[in-house]
Structure 1
């Protein structure tokens, strides 16, 4: 039998680069949907579709495709109107791509949404798919609206809601945490008690494989997380263990750390550091998926990779 053909967007981004390698390694044929011609990795084909907000040539790009994996999106607003930016690039571009996929009779549409479609930067209790979505910012609202657009289009879809994703080449908050761990000084963060669920890009790729292979219709969201939520001190200790260093964490009260960050104008970063966001991947578990490792193990591996690849991350 011919291997399934996957159309992948966002293949030049942090997650997309990993997905391209992983899907190819798992035996899928991959067609990368590109904004402009670029050099493709061995084994992948490409189709130039232009800006996904104003796509071109979609019939040819999706011809013969079995499933779409849509990882492209806007993480940070580019203009002074974030609601408009996110609506254009995260919601309407997803709707348009799904409509083209439905017209091309693509079997399934896998959408990289976000846990922020379900909650804010922190949440009480443990999140599951049974909780009503309550996004708190323009980014989260745009992701939830994209999920709703997929339901309106009528294509069979899986909307994956990963928690904070980490792995080689990661940027943002996890990159900042890795940079802190790499500093050869004690850190005043040992008093932070909030627990946060995280997921490696390797675990996320396995979840995508699980929903691609699942029989029957899905048409639902799936939280993607590893099973062991960690405190920030535990994350830093795991990263430093991977670097061959002691944890070196000072037990400064969490309230003092949060107050200092708020005074520095970093209120949301303070909430991310001190607040909790724990989740369970119940719907994926029902499909038989389980992450290949725990978060501590994954963070240690990330730090070892960072130490051996200091330029590329």
Structure 2
């Protein structure tokens, strides 16, 4: 087995590389910053979406499998719809077309629950959830899913799959979880009524484990899989876990949600309120039924992230 891992220097890509290397897989690593991988690696520059096809064929030559982690994340505040579409949808389709032509094994496309649901919607998400992306990032990830699966189907192949992820936690995480981490480190009292939403999360180690499971699973792959830790955790629980790791009191104040919601609307923070109070639960039972074991100690993991960060750097203010 020789696996091409794209986005190898990214948050999830680094964990995937570590997991596959531990398992003894031969690797080719693609990154927009291959110099960060150091000497002794089969490291190459990741092509852009509009690079000639020869570059994608060279990238996938002599590999058996592809794990596509590269892409533009939704925490890029200045990115446009065109930016997301190019870096996620068009790049993924170009890579899948080359891999379907000459890679003999599987193609694992990392995606997001944003491909099927918006941040403000409360729902339970599984493989049969009807896609309704509500942001530029989500639309680009859904288009990428379609492009990858179509590239393989057009060659009569069914060995490509999409792995949809909820917010992923671990050292170096970004997005809303990083925002909550910074908020927890302030020690400011927070109202429980504003933190009622429940969320499924996923550890970066579990994400890498799910990828390894899909690469090695006997039998055909399903087109879509969902991975998540179990059980889901509340936003209040996330903040409390971070504060526990920082050695701070939880400082979560009881109070009715109604006045807080009204204040948020008056301050023009309706979107933030809806996102904070939405409940989004992922159902990973398909992966579990096929032998994958989810993480069960989410809050302990979050506390450890804060504890390690607190020991290695000055407190966030």
Which TM-score applies when normalising by structure 1? 0.89
- Secondary structure of the residue aligned to 1:202 is helix
Q: Distance in 1 between matches of 2:102 and 2:314?
A: 42
Q: Is the 8 A contact 2:193 2:260 kept in 1?
A: no
- Of the candidates 96, 109, 112, which is equivalent to residue 110 of structure 2? 112
What is the CA deviation profile of residues 141-171 of structure 1, one whole-angstrom value per residue up to 9, with x for unaligned ones?
2211111112211252121111111110111
1:65 aligns to what?
63
1:10 aligns to what?
7
Q: Distance in 1 between matches of 2:58 and 2:8?
A: 19
- Of the candidates 175, 188, 202, which is equivalent to residue 172 of structure 1? 175
Q: Distance in 2 between matches of 1:278 and 1:37?
A: 36
1:84-163 equivalences under 5 Å are: 84-154=82-152, 155=157, 156-163=159-166
Question: Which runs of no fewer than 5 residues in structure 2 stay unpaired?
Answer: none
Which TM-score applies when normalising by structure 2? 0.88
Q: Is the 8 A contact 1:191 1:252 kept in 2?
A: no
What is the CA deviation profile of residues 248-306 of structure 1, one whole-angstrom value per residue up to 9, with x for unaligned ones?
11124333444444444443332221111111112211221122332112212211221
Q: 1:194 to 1:21 in 2, by over 3 A?
A: same
Q: 1:256 to 1:27 in 2, by over 3 A?
A: farther
Of the structure 1 ranges 29-38 and 5-14, higher mean CA displacement relative to structure 2 is found in 29-38
Of the structure 1 ranges 214-223 and 36-45, higher mean CA displacement relative to structure 2 is found in 36-45
- Name the structure where helix makes up a greater proportion of residues: 2
- Of the candidates 17, 20, 38, which is equivalent to residue 23 of structure 1? 20
- Secondary structure of the residue aligned to 1:245 is coil
2:42 aligns to what?
45
1:190-209 equivalences under 5 Å are: 191-209=194-212
| 2:206 is the counterpart of 1:210 | no
2:313 aligns to what?
310
Q: 1:36 to 1:181 in 2, by over 3 A?
A: closer
- Secondary structure of the residue aligned to 2:252 is coil
Number of positions where the alignment pairs a residue of Structure 1 with one of Structure 2:
310
Q: Distance in 2 between matches of 1:312 and 1:65?
A: 44
Of the structure 1 ranges 158-167 and 240-249, higher mean CA displacement relative to structure 2 is found in 240-249
Q: Distance in 1 between matches of 2:187 and 2:81?
A: 41
CA RMSD of aligned residues (A): 2.5
Distance apart, 1:124 and its partner CA: 3.7
Q: Is the 8 A contact 1:35 1:48 kept in 2?
A: yes
- Of the candidates 277, 280, 285, which is equivalent to residue 282 of structure 1? 285
- Secondary structure of the residue aligned to 1:239 is helix
